[in-house]
Chains A and B, each alone.
Chain A
Amino acid sequence: MTKMTVGQPIKRVEDKRFLTGRGKYTDDINRPGQTYAYIVRSPHAHAKINGINKAAAEAMPGVHAVFTGDDTKDLGGIPCGWQVHSKDGTPMAEPRHPMLAEGKARHVGDPVAMVVADTREQARAAAEALEIDYQELPAVSDTGSALGDGQPLVHDDVSSNLCYDWIIGEEADADAAIAKAHHVTEIDLVNNRLVANPMEPRAAIGEFDESTGEYTLHTTSQNPHVIRLLMGAFVLSIPEHKLRVVAPDVGGGFGSKIYHYAEEALVTWASAKVGRPIKWTADRSEAFISDAHGRDHVSHAKLAMDENGKFLALKVETTANMGAYLSTFAPCVPTYLYATLLAGVYTTPIVFANVKAVFTNTVPVDAYRGAGRPEATYLLERIVEKAAREMGLAQDELRRRNFIPADAFPYQTPVALQYDSGDYLATMEKAIELSNYESFEDRRQEAASRGKLRGIGFSTYVEACGIAPSAVVGSLGARAGLYECGQVRVHPTGSVTVFTGTHSHGQGHETTFAQLVADKLGIPMENVEISHGDTNKIPFGMGTYGSRSLAVGGVAIDRALDKVVAKAKKIAAHLMEASEADIEFENGEFRVAGTDKTTAFGDVALTAYVPHNYPIEELEPGLEETAFFDPLNFSYPGGCHICEVEIDPETGVTEVVGMTAVDDFGRIINPMIVHGQVHGGLAQGIGQALLESCVYDESGQLVTGSYMDYTMPRADNLPSYTVDDHCVPAAHNPLGVKGCGEVGAIGSPPSVINAVLDALNPLGVRDISMPATPMKVWQAIQDAKMSQAAD
Chain B
Amino acid sequence: MSSFEYHRPTSVADAVAALGGGDEATVVAGGMTLLPTIKQRLADPSDLVDLSGVGEMKGISEEGGAIVIGAMTTHGEVASNPVVQAKIPALASLAGNIGDPQVRNRGTIGGSVANNDPAACYPAGLMAMNATVHTNKRAIPVDDFFTGMFETALEEGELVTKVSVPVPDKAAYIKFPQPASRYALVGVAVAQTGGAARVAVTGAGQDGVFRVADAEAALSGSFSPDALDGVSVDADGLNSDLHGSAAYRASLVMTLAKRAVAAANG
Across the interface, do A707 and B181 meet the contact criterion of CB distance under 8 Å? Answer: yes
Query: A30-38, A658-666, A773-781: which one contacts chain B?
Result: A773-781
Q: How far is the CA of A775 from the CA of B180 in the complex (A)?
A: 13
Q: How far is the CA of A727 from the CA of B244 in the complex (A)?
A: 44
Give A693-717 interface residues, CB cut-off 8 Å to B: 695, 703-704, 707-712
Partner of A775, one of B41, B181, B244: B244
Instruction: Write out the residue numbers on chain B whose beta carbons fall within 8 Å of the beta carbon of A704.
Output: 180, 242
Q: With contacts A709-B180, A709-B181, A711-B180 known, is A703 near B251, CB below 8 A?
A: no
Q: Chain B CB within 10 Å — which of A128, A773, A774, A775 has the most?
A: A775
Q: With contacts A775-B248, A778-B248 known, is A695 near B180, CB below 8 A?
A: no
A689 to chain B, nearest CB (A): 13
Q: How far is the CA of A651 from the CA of B179 in the complex (A)?
A: 12
Q: How far is the CA of A652 from the CA of B176 in the complex (A)?
A: 11
A51 to chain B, nearest CB (A): 24
Across the interface, do A695 and B181 meet the contact criterion of CB distance under 8 Å? Answer: no
Interface flags for A194-206 (1: CB within 8 Å of B; 0: not) read 0000000000000
Q: Is B255 an interface residue (CB 8 A)?
A: yes
B11 to chain A, nearest CB (A): 34
Name A690's closest neighbour in chain B (CB-CB): B179
A464 to chain B, nearest CB (A): 33
Q: Is B252 an interface residue (CB 8 A)?
A: yes
Partner of B179, one of A121, A691, A782: A691
Q: Is B243 an interface residue (CB 8 A)?
A: yes
Q: Is A650 an interface residue (CB 8 A)?
A: yes
Instruction: Write out the residue numbers on chain B whose beta carbons fall within 8 Å of the beta carbon of A711.
Output: 179-180
A422 to chain B, nearest CB (A): 37
A226 to chain B, nearest CB (A): 33
Name A653's closest neighbour in chain B (CB-CB): B176
Instruction: Write out the residue numbers on chain A whose beta carbons fall within 8 Å of the beta carbon of B222.
Output: none
Give B240-263 interface residues, CB cut-off 8 Å to A: 242-245, 247-248, 251-252, 255
Name B255's closest neighbour in chain A (CB-CB): A650
Q: With contacts A773-B243, A775-B243 known, is A708 near B251, CB below 8 A?
A: no
Instruction: Write out the residue numbers on chain A whose beta carbons fall within 8 Å of the beta carbon of B248.
Output: 652, 775, 778-779
Across the interface, do B255 and A709 meet the contact criterion of CB distance under 8 Å? Answer: no
Instruction: Write out the residue numbers on chain B whose beta carbons fall within 8 Å of the beta carbon of A708.
Output: 180-181
Q: How far is the CA of A301 from the CA of B221 in the complex (A)?
A: 57
Name A124's closest neighbour in chain B (CB-CB): B41
Give A735-781 interface residues, CB cut-off 8 Å to B: 773-775, 778-779
Instruction: Write out the residue numbers on chain A whose beta carbons fall within 8 Å of the beta carbon of B180.
Output: 704, 707-712
Interface flags for A395-436 (1: CB within 8 Å of B; 0: not) read 000000000000000000000000000000000000000000
Q: With contacts A651-B252, A775-B248, A779-B248 known, is A703 near B242, CB below 8 A?
A: yes
Across the interface, do B242 and A709 meet the contact criterion of CB distance under 8 Å? Answer: yes
Partner of B245, one of A651, A703, A707, A775: A775
Give B198-217 interface residues, CB cut-off 8 Å to A: none
Q: Chain A CB within 10 Å — which of B1, B179, B251 has the most?
A: B179
Q: How far is the CA of A775 from the CA of B244 in the complex (A)?
A: 6
Name B182's closest neighbour in chain A (CB-CB): A714
Instruction: Write out the residue numbers on chain B whose beta carbons fall within 8 Å of the beta carbon of A709.
Output: 180-181, 242-243
B115 to chain A, nearest CB (A): 16
Q: How far is the CA of A536 from the CA of B255 in the complex (A)?
A: 63
Interface flags for A645-678 (1: CB within 8 Å of B; 0: not) read 0000011100000000000000000000000000
Name A650's closest neighbour in chain B (CB-CB): B255
Name B186's closest neighbour in chain A (CB-CB): A651
Instruction: Write out the residue numbers on chain A whose beta carbons fall within 8 Å of the beta carbon of B252.
Output: 651
A24 to chain B, nearest CB (A): 26
Give B51-77 interface residues, CB cut-off 8 Å to A: none
Across the interface, do A773 and B251 meet the contact criterion of CB distance under 8 Å? Answer: no
Q: How far is the CA of A774 from the CA of B181 in the complex (A)?
A: 14
B175 to chain A, nearest CB (A): 12
Q: How far is the CA of A704 from the CA of B180 in the complex (A)?
A: 10
Instruction: Write out the residue numbers on chain A whose beta carbons fall within 8 Å of the beta carbon of B251.
Output: 650, 778
Q: How far is the CA of A778 from the CA of B244 in the complex (A)?
A: 10
A581 to chain B, nearest CB (A): 67
Interface flags for A211-237 (1: CB within 8 Å of B; 0: not) read 000000000000000000000000000
Instruction: Write out the residue numbers on chain B whose beta carbons fall within 8 Å of the beta carbon of A695.
Output: 242
Q: How far is the CA of A775 from the CA of B185 in the complex (A)?
A: 11
Name A717's closest neighbour in chain B (CB-CB): B179
Instruction: Write out the residue numbers on chain B whose beta carbons fall within 8 Å of the beta carbon of A707.
Output: 180-181
Instruction: Write out the residue numbers on chain B whose beta carbons fall within 8 Å of the beta carbon of A775.
Output: 243-245, 248
Q: How far is the CA of A708 from the CA of B37 in the complex (A)?
A: 14
Name A710's closest neighbour in chain B (CB-CB): B180
Q: How far is the CA of A734 from the CA of B252 in the complex (A)?
A: 58
Instruction: Write out the residue numbers on chain B whose beta carbons fall within 8 Å of the beta carbon of A652.
Output: 248
Give A56-73 interface residues, CB cut-off 8 Å to B: none
Instruction: Write out the residue numbers on chain B whose beta carbons fall within 8 Å of the beta carbon of A651.
Output: 176, 252, 255
Give A80-113 interface residues, CB cut-off 8 Å to B: none
Instruction: Write out the residue numbers on chain A whose beta carbons fall within 8 Å of the beta carbon of B247.
Output: 782
Name A779's closest neighbour in chain B (CB-CB): B248
Q: How far is the CA of A712 from the CA of B247 in the complex (A)?
A: 25
Q: How far is the CA of A775 from the CA of B242 in the complex (A)?
A: 9
Instruction: Write out the residue numbers on chain B whose beta carbons fall within 8 Å of the beta carbon of A778.
Output: 248, 251
Q: With contacts A650-B255, A651-B252, A707-B181 known, is A779 near B245, CB below 8 A?
A: yes
A61 to chain B, nearest CB (A): 13
Name A773's closest neighbour in chain B (CB-CB): B179
Q: How far is the CA of A553 from the CA of B1 in the complex (A)?
A: 46
Instruction: Write out the residue numbers on chain B whose beta carbons fall within 8 Å of the beta carbon of A773.
Output: 179, 243
Q: How far is the CA of A638 from the CA of B251 in the complex (A)?
A: 42
Across the interface, do B179 and A774 meet the contact criterion of CB distance under 8 Å? Answer: yes
Q: How far is the CA of A710 from the CA of B179 in the complex (A)?
A: 9
Interface flags for A678-696 (1: CB within 8 Å of B; 0: not) read 0000000000000100010
Give B170-184 interface residues, CB cut-off 8 Å to A: 176, 179-181
Give B38-56 interface residues, CB cut-off 8 Å to A: 41
B187 to chain A, nearest CB (A): 13
B27 to chain A, nearest CB (A): 24
Instruction: Write out the residue numbers on chain B whose beta carbons fall within 8 Å of the beta carbon of A650.
Output: 251, 255
Q: How far is the CA of A711 from the CA of B248 in the complex (A)?
A: 19
Give B1-18 interface residues, CB cut-off 8 Å to A: 1
B46 to chain A, nearest CB (A): 17
Instruction: Write out the residue numbers on chain A whose beta carbons fall within 8 Å of the beta carbon of B245.
Output: 775, 779
Instruction: Write out the residue numbers on chain A whose beta carbons fall within 8 Å of the beta carbon of B179.
Output: 691, 711, 773-774
A338 to chain B, nearest CB (A): 28
B238 to chain A, nearest CB (A): 13
Instruction: Write out the residue numbers on chain A whose beta carbons fall within 8 Å of the beta carbon of B41.
Output: 128
Name A708's closest neighbour in chain B (CB-CB): B181
Q: How far is the CA of A707 from the CA of B178 in the complex (A)?
A: 11
Name B252's closest neighbour in chain A (CB-CB): A651
A58 to chain B, nearest CB (A): 20
Q: Chain A CB within 10 Å — which of B1, B176, B248 has the most?
A: B248
Instruction: Write out the residue numbers on chain B whose beta carbons fall within 8 Å of the beta carbon of A710.
Output: 180
Instruction: Write out the residue numbers on chain B whose beta carbons fall within 8 Å of the beta carbon of A774.
Output: 179
Q: How far is the CA of A288 from the CA of B22 in the complex (A)?
A: 36
Q: How far is the CA of A121 from the CA of B180 in the complex (A)?
A: 29
Instruction: Write out the residue numbers on chain A whose beta carbons fall within 8 Å of the beta carbon of B181.
Output: 707-709
Name B179's closest neighbour in chain A (CB-CB): A711
Instruction: Write out the residue numbers on chain A whose beta carbons fall within 8 Å of the beta carbon of B243.
Output: 709, 773, 775
Interface flags for B155-182 (1: CB within 8 Å of A; 0: not) read 0000000000000000000001001110
A650 to chain B, nearest CB (A): 5
B179 to chain A, nearest CB (A): 4
A-B residue pairs, 7 tightest by C-beta: A711-B180, A708-B181, A711-B179, A650-B255, A775-B248, A709-B180, A775-B244
Q: List 10 A-B contacts (CB under 8 A).
A: A650-B251, A704-B180, A707-B180, A709-B180, A711-B179, A711-B180, A712-B180, A779-B245, A779-B248, A782-B247
Given contact pairs A651-B255, A709-B181, A778-B248, enumerate 17 new A-B contacts (beta carbons under 8 Å).
A121-B1, A650-B255, A695-B242, A704-B242, A708-B181, A709-B180, A709-B243, A710-B180, A711-B179, A711-B180, A712-B180, A773-B179, A773-B243, A774-B179, A775-B245, A778-B251, A779-B245
